[in-house]
Chain A
Amino acid sequence: MKLLTLRVSNFMPYRGEQVMTFPVTGTRNVTLVHGDNMRGKTSLLNALRWVLYGEVVGRHLRRISSIDILNKDAAYDRDFVVKVSLSFTHDGHEYELVRTMQPKDLIDKPRDDDHFDSSASMRRDGVPISGHLIESEIGNILPNSISRFSFFDGELLQEYEQLVADATESSDRIKDAIERALGVPTLINGRLHVAELLHRAQRQFAKEGNKDSQHARLMQQTLDELEDAKSEQTRLTNLFHSVSEESETLDDELRKYERAESVGARLKELRENVAGLEETRDRALQRRRSLAPGAWLAILSSDIAARKEDAESRLLQSQNSYEESVRSKVEHSLRLSSLESGSCSLCQQDLTSAAVAEFSRKESQEDPSGNISTFSNDLATLARQLQRLRGLGAVSVGSEIIQAEREYDRTTIDIARMRQREDDLVKEVPGIDMMDISRKRQRKDLLQREIGKLDSQVSAQQSKCAGIQKKYDTLVKAAAGGQEASSQLIARKVTLLSSLAEIFEKSVDKLRHKLRAKVEEAATDTFRRLTTEKQYSGLRINDQYGLEIRDHMDRTVSVRSAGAEQIVALSLIDGLSHASNSAGLLVMDTPFGRLDLKHRAEVLSYLPGMAEQVVLLVHEGEISKDRDLAHVADRVSAAYEIERISPTQSRIVAK
C-alpha cells in the first residue's frame, strides 16, 4: 500500500479542507510532518484510521466518539459534515476511498453519536466497488487487526515493551495482533475447517457410504472410539497447554525476581559508593571547618607579603648598619690607643704629626658606641617581626579552603545523583517476598514434572489416535471397495481429510516456530544497527514475541533503560515487517520521545529503509530541523508544518 493523497475536512482540529500528498521519488520516500503538541499530528494518523476502518482511537485504545471527530469551529458554524478521502495504490491498482459523516435526516443540530450517519465509497482504477465489498477489500489490502504495524504511535511501543515485561491482557492482545500479521490464524482457520469437514465426511460415510450393516457397525464403533480418543487427546493437550502457560507465567515472574536480584546487586554497589562519597564529603567538610579560623589570612595575604618584603629589606639594612658601627668602633679604639701611646697600635711605628692631627679630627667627629646598641635592638626586633610574618605566609590557606569547598560540592552533587539513581532502581523493583519466590520456584519444579508427564501422555494418546485412525482408514477403504462410485468418493474424502487434519494440526506449531525464528533474526539485525552499544550480541524472542537483549557473552540484559526499550520495540516492528506481509507503509507518530541524540541519529538514518514509504509525525523536540534533519534530509520527499490558528483549529502548510 502506498499513500498518494489525503484530504481531510472538518476532521478534529482541521476546519475546511486540508490536503497532503505523499510523493515517493527514487530514494526519497519520507514525508515529514512537524507540529507542536496538541496541534493535530495524532489527528492525521486518526484520519487515516478513520477513512480506512471508520473508527478513531485515543489513548489506551479508547474509541473517540463521532461528536468529538467533528471540528468544534465547524460545529459552531453549523457545518456538520466530516469528510476524509484517501487515494492510494496497492498491488498495481489505484484506489480512491472516501468516508463521510453527516447528521441524520431531521437532525438539526447533532449532539451525540446516534445523530450521525457514516458512509464510505471506494473506487478501484476508477470503477466503483459495491458498498458491502469495501470492508473486505480493505481487509485484503491492510486488515485493521494488523494495521497497527503500519500506523503506530508511542502507545504501541509501550505495548511492545509490556510484551517483554510480563503477560498481561495487553500483551495477549499484541501477541494476537502479531500472529495475525504473521499469518498464523490462516493455518489455524484451515485446521478448523478441515477438522469440521472431516467430521461431516465421516458422518456422511457412516450414514450413506456403507451397505454392509455389520461392517457399518464396526466402522461406527471405530469412529466412536476414534472420537473418544481424540476427545481425550484434546483434554490432555489443553491440560498440557494450561500447565505450560502457568509455568511460563511463573517463569516470567521469576525472571522479574532475577531482574530484581540483579537490581538489588546494583543497589548494594551504589549504596557502597554513596557511603564512600559521604566519607569524602565529611572529610572535606571537616577540613574546611578546621581551615575556617585562618580564613582571614587569605584576605590579608597580599598585605602580609608586602610587610614581609619590607621587613626583609629593613633587616638587611640594619644588618649592614650594625656591621658598619662595629667596624667604626674598632677603628675608634685603635685610634685612641695610638694617640695615647704616640705610635700605631697595629704596626708600632711612631705617629707623624699629620697622622696625629687626622686621628684627633676623626675622634672629635665620631663616637659610634651609642649606635651599636640601637642597631642591635632594631635587628632583634626586625628578626622577630620577620619570623612572625614568615609564619603567617607559610601555608596558602585560601587555596586550601577553596579546594576543600570544591571537594565538598563535587561529592554532594555526586551523592545527590546516586541517590536519584537509587530511587529509580528502587522503583524498578517492588518489595520482594523471599518466601513467595521460594514457593513459586517449588511450584515451577512441580509444574515442570507435570509438563513432562503430560507430554508423554499426549504423545501416547496421539499414537493411540493414529492407530485407531489407521484402523478406521482401513475399514473405510475396505468398505469403499465394491461400493458405488459416490460411496468411494466419500471414502476417499474421509481418508484425504484425515491426512489434511493431521498436516494442518502439526503445521501450526511448525509455522509459529519458523516465524519466531525469522522475526528474531530480522529484529536482531535491526537492533544491532540501531543500538549504540555495539557489544550486544542481539535479541532473543520468547513465546509471547517478547524480545530479550543478549550481551556479548549471550546473557540476558535484565535492566534496560527506557531508550533501550524503545529501540527493542522498533526492532521488533521492523522484524515483523520483514517476516510478515508488510504493507510497505509506515506512519509513525512521535516515535523518538525517549531516545538520546545518538540513538535518534541511528534510528533516523535507518528509518527510511524500514518501509517503501515512511510518514513521520514529529515535534521540534524530537527532530530539530537544524540538528537532526541532516540524517534523513536526502530521503525526504515532502515536508509539512502543522500551524496553529486557534486552540480548536490548525492547518497543514507545505514547506
Chain B
Amino acid sequence: MVDDAALEALEEIRDQVNPSISTELLRQLMRVEVLRAFDERPEIALREVDAVIDTYLRGSTTT
C-alpha cells in the first residue's frame, strides 16, 4: 500500500510536469527506495537509483 500510494502521488505529479516519463521508471525508482529504506548505507541506494536511470535512458528514445 505504501508503494501504491507513493507511486500514485508520483504519477499524478508526473502527469503535470513531464508526462513522457514512464510509470515503469517511477515504479523501479520506488522499488529501490522501498528496498533500501532501512539500509544504513545511503550510497548503495544512490548507486541503484543511478543504475535504474541509466538503464531507462539507454532503453528509451524519448524523455
Contact = CB atoms under 8 A, between A and B. Distances in A.
Interface of A: 136, 139-140, 143, 145, 182-183, 185-187, 189-190, 193-194, 196-197, 489, 492-493, 495-497, 499-500, 502-504, 506-507, 510-511, 514-515, 518, 579-581
10 contacts: A145-B38, A183-B2, A183-B3, A183-B34, A190-B29, A489-B58, A493-B54, A499-B21, A579-B5, A581-B1
A143 B38 contact: yes
Interface of B: 1-3, 5-6, 8-10, 12-14, 16-18, 21, 26, 29-30, 33-39, 42, 45-46, 49-50, 53-54, 56-58, 63
Contacts of A511: 5-6, 9
B39 A136 contact: yes
Contacts of A492: 57, 63
Contact of A579 (B1, B16, B21, B45): B1
A194 B57 contact: no
Q: Is the interface of A mostly helix, strand, loop or mixed?
A: helix
A240 B36 CA distance: 31
Contact of B37 (A189, A507, A510): A189
Contacts of A515: 5
B10 A194 contact: no
A507 B57 contact: no
Given A183-B3, A186-B6, A196 B14 contact: no
B59 to A, nearest CB: 12
Contact of A493 (B10, B29, B53): B53
Given A190-B29, A190-B49, A496 B2 contact: no
Contacts of B42: 189
B6 A194 contact: no
B45 A503 contact: no
Given A140-B38, A503-B18, A496 B1 contact: no
Contacts of A145: 38
B49 A197 contact: yes
A500 B9 contact: no
Nearest to A504: B10
Given A190-B33, A493-B57, A507-B10, A502 B5 contact: no
Contacts of B30: 186, 190
Contacts of B45: 189, 193
A139 B8 CA distance: 24
A384 B34 CA distance: 107
Contacts of A500: 21, 29, 53
Contact of A580 (B1, B12, B39): B1
Nearest to B18: A499
B14 to A, nearest CB: 5
Given A183-B5, A193-B49, A502 B54 contact: no
B53 A196 contact: no
Contacts of A502: 13, 17-18
A183 B2 CA distance: 5
A496 B16 CA distance: 15
Contacts of B18: 499, 502-503
B48 to A, nearest CB: 9
Contacts of A503: 10, 13-14, 17-18, 21, 26
B13 A510 contact: yes
Nearest to B21: A499
Contact of B35 (A140, A194, A197): A140
Contacts of B6: 183, 186-187, 507, 511
Contacts of A182: 2, 5
Given A493-B53, A500-B21, A503-B14, A187 B3 contact: no
B33 A186 contact: yes
Contacts of B29: 190, 194, 500
Contacts of B39: 136, 139
A194 B49 contact: yes
Given A140-B38, A186-B2, A502-B17, A514 B9 contact: yes
A158 to B, nearest CB: 26
Contact of A196 (B8, B10, B36, B46): B46
Nearest to B12: A510
A94 to B, nearest CB: 21
